[in-house]
Amino acid sequence: MHQQDPDEIPLSELLGNSGESVPRVVSVARQGGFGAPSIQVAKKSSSAALSEDELPLALLIGTERKKECSRRKGKVEPCRKAPKRKCERMKAEKHRKAKKLQATSTKHRAEDESIKWCSLEHNGVLFPPEYEPHGRPLLYDGCEIALPPEAEEVATFYASKLGTVYLEKETFRKNFFDDFRKTLPVDLRKRIVKLEHCDFSRIREYLDELKERKQSMPPSKRKELREAEAQRVAHYTVAIVDGRKEKVANYRVEPPGLFLGRGDHPLMGRVKRRIFPEDVTLNLGRDAPIPPCPFKGHDWGSIVHNQRVTWLACWRDPISDEYKYVWLSASSHFKAMSDQEKFEKAQQLSKHITKIRNEYTKGLESADRHTQQRSVALYLIDKLALRVGNEKGEDEADTVGCCSLRVEHITLQEPNIVQLDFLGKDSMRYFNRVRVEALVFHRLREFLKGKRVSDNVFDELKVEELNDYLKSLMPGLSAKVFRTYNASYTLDKLLHSVKTPGPDIHSRLLFYNEANKDVAVLCNHQRSLPKTHSLMLERLRDKLEESRAYLEALKMARGKAQASPDSRAQVTRWRRPVVEIPEDCSLAERKRIREEAEKRPKEKQVVNMGLASITRGIAQTQEKIRRLEADLKTRDSLATVSLSTSKINYLDPRITVAWCKRHEVPIERIFPRALQEKFMWSMGVSEDFRFPISNVVSNDPSGAST
DNA sequence: TGATTTGACTCAGAAAACTAGCT
DNA sequence: CAGCTAGTTTTCTGAGTCAAATC
């Protein structure tokens, strides 16, 4: 579908929260009749108008009849406000792509278009509550300005971001202010022209008050509210698929707000408008009752019965204009099946991997530039677990993957070291220096020759071509299978590298996490440093220091005690003085006092101890020191690594389950409840399970980094 | 294009760590 | 002085969220 130029959107539509200004479906025609599927073709609001060939596939599949009825009604509305350039560009693009799709991927589609369910029942989606105006003014040049509800809501979105890094970004502020002004009535729009003159602090105060009120709520009251909320939403949390009761993952419609985005996103700060029932398409069984629309005077955008997909509802994201879907949870049958297929495919790859590696190694020698590029790209994908790197649009952050690498991202260092430095998915930095095959190095040097920094390294390679090629090597193979394969292969190998991974559960878990960490590093799964990380490390070091000093003092005292007639001796210990915190001060105040206290000098304490106590103290302190040292080490090395992503997406759970069985580690120590449910299908695996290992010895991805 | 998977970040609540008071 | 308990604070975990990839 087209994306409207924001300037073309009437402001009432941009926001559309309060009832009056929303364009809505006037009536919903229910066709049907004798044995016919009941199909609704809703009249769309202008912003959602679809010409027939723009209808989502979902609306067209297997429904000759539907075409008929929409034609009969002649209700295909043209775009009321034809959004120019963008609309046309996107249409042309779509035609091109649609043709291509038809030509190239019939097989893929045939597989994709299998029937996924026979009966499907659910209760629709849960909308966020209506906006409730608070009446706090905006200050403009110091003057109070009462905003109408739509504008107030947007101003409040902004106020909630005060003090975050978003506001330091020019793009964010500009996008916000442009959209904000569109919500203002004409007179105010004339007056409010500079963001720098806007003061949102009164609104912020209101938000802080709300927060404070919420936080000071007694736990009992909190619990009560939580339970009431659970009851309110219970209706939406389950669906019935082919008679099975399944959990719905994201039954909540995304609330309006400011679009944040990741990295340097050109649309950050834009207002993400509210979604209404008219925007939403529900997918239901033909016999399933249609859930009543929760808003009076509104109705669902459309109802479809598409058995070839697994989503329950969809709408278009107002920012990207892409579809958002409501899915079943990860523990559902659908998801479990595709998860199993995914790991099945990865195991398949291990049977072909030798052949494939030989293939692309041979390809490096080819005289054909295209084959060379394809081979080098595949080498990097396989060896470094890079993502394939599709093309990106102008309205997205500038991030890259393998095929979209530019000259500026690669530095070559004789004789054979390649340095990669680029922003990947989610604008996460990928930085790695690796030793590569001589020929790969040579080819890369050729690819870079004579190009500008902003040129593509793989200028003669398209992602589709690479994937088509992979399909020819093994059915269903695509670039991401290499990530799954290499991640699982690595974990399996590491977990089998040691017979007895530790005397107790604690050390075995440490061992597992270490292996998990290697995979996470391979996949470049990062997390941001927790705010207090350095402070925490400092405290740990301080404690370590203190314990070491205490140990020395104890040892010295032991000698003295042994020599003394009464077997006693003085032990000196340095500690920070205990602070008194007044009972009736606020949380913030307490925190401040605590922080103050940490700066105070340590005080000397002298205790008279018996020999037995001293000896015990020594053992305890030594143990404590060991613990602190280990802690310090793991925390530091795990600080910026995220283990969960690979656990959830890349590691065949059977590897973990088998390891747990072999080493008597309860599975819940590694898989939290949700993951246990997601991976239920893997729990029965035998303890001898191996993730198939290829007979190729070279190219071990876990050893790729230098 | 549309469907589906992957990914980092947030925040609430749980768990761990710490402290004071008592025996 | 050690050990226990209860209360408090700090840290960690993980479920939820929604953006951003793939194919």
pLDDT in tens, A200-256: 999 999 999 898 888 777 777 888 888 899 999 999 999 999 999 999 999 999 999
Measured CA A648 to C1' B6 distance, in angstroms: 9
Greatest mean pLDDT among A61-65, A415-419, A527-531 lies in A415-419
Domain(s) of CATH 3.90.15.10: residues in chain A: 334-485
Q: Where are the beta strands (DSSP E) in A368-479?
A: 410-413, 417-423, 429-435
If DSSP codes are grouped into helix, strand and coil, which group holds residue A191? helix
Does the predicted model carry a pTM greater than 0.85?
Answer: no
How high is the pLDDT of residue A112?
66
Average pLDDT on A604-620 reads 79
Strand B nucleotides where any atom sits below 7 Å of a protein CB: 1-10, 12-13, 18-20
A229 CB inside 7 Å of strand C:
no
Per-residue confidence band for A85, with pLDDT thresholds at 50, 70 and 90: very low
Which nucleotide lies nearest residue A272, CA to C1'?
A: C18
Average pLDDT for residues A664-673, to the nearest whole number? 94
**Is the shortest CB-to-strand distance from A102 to strand B under 7 Å?**
no
Q: Which CATH number fits domain A334-485: 3.40.50.620, 3.90.15.10, 3.90.1150.10, 3.30.470.10?
A: 3.90.15.10
Using the predicted structure, report yes or no on whether residue A671 has a pLDDT greater than 60. yes
Residue A607's pLDDT band, with cuts at 50, 70 and 90, is: confident
Q: State the nearest residue by CA to the C1' of B5.
A: A649
| A119-130: average pLDDT | 97
Q: Is the pLDDT of residue A118 over 70?
A: yes
Q: Within 7 Å: CB of A426 and strand C?
A: yes
A609 CB less than 7 Å from any atom of strand C: yes
Ordered alpha helix ranges (H), A105-148: 106-112
> Would you say the C-beta of A405 is within 7 Å of strand C?
no
Q: Specify the nucleotide whose C1' lies closest to residue A1 (CA).
A: B1
Residue A46 has pLDDT above 90, yes or no: no
CB–CB of A6/A81 below 8 Å? Answer: no
- Flag the least confident range among A47-61, A153-167, A653-667: A47-61
Helix (H) or strand (E) holding A219: helix A219-233
Query: How distant is C1' of B17 from CA of A363, in Å?
Result: 59
If one compares A333 and A71, the residue with the highest pLDDT of the two is: A333
| Cα of A225 vs its chain's centroid, Å | 28
Could you give the CA distance from residue A435 to residue A418 in angstroms, rounded to a whole number?
Answer: 6
Query: What pLDDT, in 10s, does the model give residues A624-640?
Result: 787 788 778 878 888 89
The predicted model gives A72-85 an average pLDDT of 31
Whether A265 sits with its Cβ under 7 A from any strand C atom: the answer reads yes
Query: Tokens 């027939």, residue?
Result: A52
For strand C, is any atom closer than 7 Å to the CB of A317? yes
Q: What does the pLDDT average to over A127-151?
A: 96
- Token pair of A297, please? 């005077």
pLDDT at residue A44 greater than cutoff 90: no
* Nearest C-alpha neighbor of A22 from the set A155, A176, A132, A150: A150
Decide: CB of A612 under 7 A of nucleic strand B: no
User: Gap from A616 CA to C4 C1', in Å?
Assistant: 19
Q: What is the dihedral of CA A262, A268, A269, A275, to 10 degrees?
A: -90
Contact of A253 with A236, CB cutoff 8 Å: no
Question: Do A431 and A360 contact (CB within 8 A), yes or no?
Answer: no
Query: How many C-alpha atoms does A426 have within 13 Å on its Cβ side?
Result: 6
Range 441-470, chain A: CB under 7 Å to any strand B atom: none
CA of residue A226 to C1' of nucleotide C4, angstroms: 34
Chain centroid to Cα A548, Å, comes to: 42
Burial A154-172 (b: 16+ CB within 10 A, else e): bbbbbbbbeeeebeeeebb
Nearest nt to the CA of A254 via C1' is C18
Instruction: State residue A609's pLDDT score.
Output: 79
Instruction: Compare A699 and A112 and report the one with higher pLDDT.
Output: A112
Q: Can you tell me the distance from the alpha carbon of A589 to that of A642, in angstroms, rounded to the nearest whole number? A: 34
Query: Between A283 and A47, whose confidence is greater?
Result: A283
CA distance A14 to A20: 13
Question: What DSSP element (H or E) covers A474?
Answer: none
The more confident residue out of A679 and A533 is A679
pLDDT for residue A295: 92
Q: Which residues contact A92 (CB under 8 A, 6 or more apart)?
A: none
| From A88-102, A466-480, A691-705, the region with the lowest mean pLDDT | A88-102
Has residue A175 got a pLDDT over 70? yes
Mean pLDDT over all residues of chain A?
A: 81
Does strand B come within 7 Å of the CB of A327? yes
* A396 C-beta less than 7 Å away from strand B: no
Better pLDDT: A1 or A398: A398
Least confident span in A251-255, A384-388, A604-608, A680-684: A604-608
Residues 6+ apart with CB under 8 A from A517: A637, A638, A641, A643
The catalytic residues of A are 650
Give the closest residue to B3 (Cα–C1′). Answer: A309
Is A581's pLDDT higher than 80? no
Nearest nucleotide (C1') to alpha carbon of A638: C12
Query: How far apart, in whole angstroms, are the C-alpha atoms of residue A339 and residue A634?
Result: 31
Least trusted range by pLDDT, from A55-59, A86-90, A221-225, A460-464: A55-59
Name residues 662-681 of chain A with a Cβ under 7 Å from nucleic strand C: 672-675
Count of C-beta atoms within a 10 Å radius of residue A579: 12
Q: Which residues contact A288 (CB under 8 A, 6 or more apart)?
A: A119, A120, A121, A122
Per-residue pLDDT, averaged over A674-693, amounts to 93
Q: Which of residues 28-57 of A touch strand B (CB under 7 A)?
A: 54-57
**pLDDT value of residue A634:** 79
